[in-house]
Structure 1
Amino acid sequence: VRTYKLDTVLLILKCTQESKGCSWYIRAAKIAGSDFFSVTRYRSKHTCSRAVQSSSNCRRRGNPRLVAAVLHEDYPGQFDTPVPKTIVDVVHRRAGVTVSYSTALRGKQLHVSDVRGTPEEGYRMLFSYLYMLEQENPGTKTNVQLDADNRFEYLFVALGASIEGFQ
């Protein structure tokens, strides 16, 4: 399989034996408003010999984004994933591609980053979280201290139940 066209909205893959008349083909278009592609055309039959190998004789390799996608499916919303050595086997079994230990590690880190979000996203949500914490836990006290440049310095949280327990 070789990539014939790849851009932000369209993906076309064709058989490497297309020049010899093989008609295998897949076309996918990006679904509006998402990161997913939808297959729009697919010719499933290879008309070339199945025994024909690509002239480059290279193995299919995965990248960290593929590893993260496999982990998203197997461990949705979880930080706790297998060790990279196990991830190498999982990706090979699930996606049929080989990845190195370091690629598996980078994919695992990408998965955790996707689940956790960036520090900037977390900071933007901090004040809403603290407000809801005070609303849902009577007696809870929170305080965010910022420095002279309006940068985060420290955070204080005392849960209402803990305050009540000390009185």
Structure 2
Amino acid sequence: MRTVDMGRDTNLRDHLFAATDVHQNLEHDDMNHAPSSPVNNVVETGNFDDGPAPVDDMLDDPFNGTNVTSIADVDPQMSSQLIRSGTDQWITAVDISDPVERQIFLSKKELYSKIHLLALQDKFEFHVSRSSHKMLTVACVDRNCKWMLRASSVKLTSIFMIRKFNHVHTCSVDIRRNAHRHATTSVITEHILRKLDNPHRLYDSTAIARDIECEFGVKITYQKAHRAKVAALHMLHGTPGDSFQKLPSYCHVLGERNPGTLTHIEVDSHNRFHYFFLAFGASVHGYMRYLRPVICIDGSHLKGPYKGTILLATDQNANKQIYPLAWGIVDAETNRSWMWFMSNLKELIGDFAELVFVSDWKNSIFNAIAHLFLQSRHGYCI
């Protein structure tokens, strides 16, 4: 076991924390295979021209002849980096409800998600008749329906362009129904990204399921809505494992921006996260100058994929409000974890006769205070 003091060693390798893998129960779309149901109506659409588009693929300018108002679903930050060839005109992203020919998408996955949303909106089902790294052809599940869409990649890029699109359905009304099969977790995830990326809105799983039913007429379970929300949050903010990887950099920036801040990271023998301690410099400064030396300490369980326990050291200001002094993340409330936390706290505030600790009757807290703070006093909550 070793301890890393971020105040002295900030050049940690990227693989400092090999956090345990957490398997997310997410549904994934296989764009290279046709869906398995319904079987009776799925046939190869040989009557469509799904071959390569030699003229379009050989264009030196991938956007030659493209109407810029047909460029949809492009992220504004990414679209601002795309400049139309031969001019200084920026390509502008607009929101188009239905796909059109020569519309471009930044990736095949983005195009596939758009087709799924269209199927939910118009209440029909499709199957993939041809799929590769450079080509995607989809058609209605009814062999007699003329609806189809063919897209291919633009020369030497991951951008996909719709080459041919017949948007008219000639299938029976009985075929077109609420397409639950296309309401997958990944599609819902893409659909709710913008709504989740709003810090002023609480968007829970129940609201997600309600919105999907209102917008598309499809009922999804609470569990599917929750999986979609978790996947969307991971896309927006990264996974918990990614956060562990960024912890050393975060501590380094804290020390630069908040003078007097103390951070400690301890890893196990496999170089994985074990303990973490943090005390903001401003909190320490305020405690040392203005507050009474009476510190309450306690621990509480954490939720999430990695569980653990948070240990807290707090005080009370003149307004009788809780004043956070220091906190730590450990595996559980044990003798070793409390000894480690209290030793870091002692490095901050020292040990003197006027110091008083208040806690519950946990033996691990009593042992740590008795061993480290020989001059202070310790009171119990009754």
Fold match by TM threshold 0.5: yes
Matches within 5 A, 1:65-76: 65-76=186-197
Find the counterpart in structure 1 of residue 204 from structure 2: 82
**1:135 aligned counterpart, secondary structure:** helix
Find the counterpart in structure 2 of residue 160 from structure 1: 281
Query: How far apart in 1 are the matches of 2:131 and 2:214?
Result: 25
1:39 equivalent among 135, 138, 162: 162
Query: Kindly, what percent of the aligned residue pairs are identical?
Result: 25
What displacement does 1:81 show? 1.6
Deviates more, 1:125-134 or 1:93-102: 93-102
What displacement does 1:135 show? 0.9
Kindly provide the amino acid, as one letter, of the partner of residue 2 in structure 1: F
What displacement does 1:144 show? 0.8
**2:214 aligned counterpart, secondary structure:** helix
Find the counterpart in structure 1 of residue 52 from structure 2: none
Deviations 1:74-100 (A, max 9, x none): 22265942332x322311333454423
What displacement does 1:163 show? 1.6
**1:150 aligned counterpart, secondary structure:** coil
Find the counterpart in structure 2 of residue 53 from structure 1: 174
8 Å CA contact retained: 1:143, 1:156: yes
Kindly provide the amino acid, as one letter, of the partner of residue 204 in structure 2: P
Any unmatched runs of 5+ in structure 2?
A: 1-124, 289-382
* Residue 9 to residue 132, structure 1, CA distance change in 2 (3 Å): farther
Any unmatched runs of 5+ in structure 1?
A: none
* Residue 140 to residue 129, structure 1, CA distance change in 2 (3 Å): same
**2:187 aligned counterpart, secondary structure:** helix
Kindly provide the amino acid, as one letter, of the partner of residue 60 in structure 1: A
Query: Greater helix share, 1 or 2?
Result: 1
TM-score, normalised via structure 1 length: 0.74
8 Å CA contact retained: 1:77, 1:115: no
Larger radius of gyration: 2
Find the counterpart in structure 1 of residue 136 from structure 2: 11
Query: How far apart in 2 are the matches of 1:106 and 1:11?
Result: 27
| RMSD between superposed Cα atoms in Å | 3.0
Higher relative contact order (CA 8 A, sep 6+): 2
* Residue 88 to residue 150, structure 1, CA distance change in 2 (3 Å): closer
Deviations 1:47-102 (A, max 9, x none): x26x5432xx7641111112222220322265942332x32231133345442333
* Residue 157 to residue 76, structure 1, CA distance change in 2 (3 Å): same
**2:149 aligned with 1:26:** yes
Query: How far apart in 2 are the matches of 1:114 and 1:153?
Result: 26
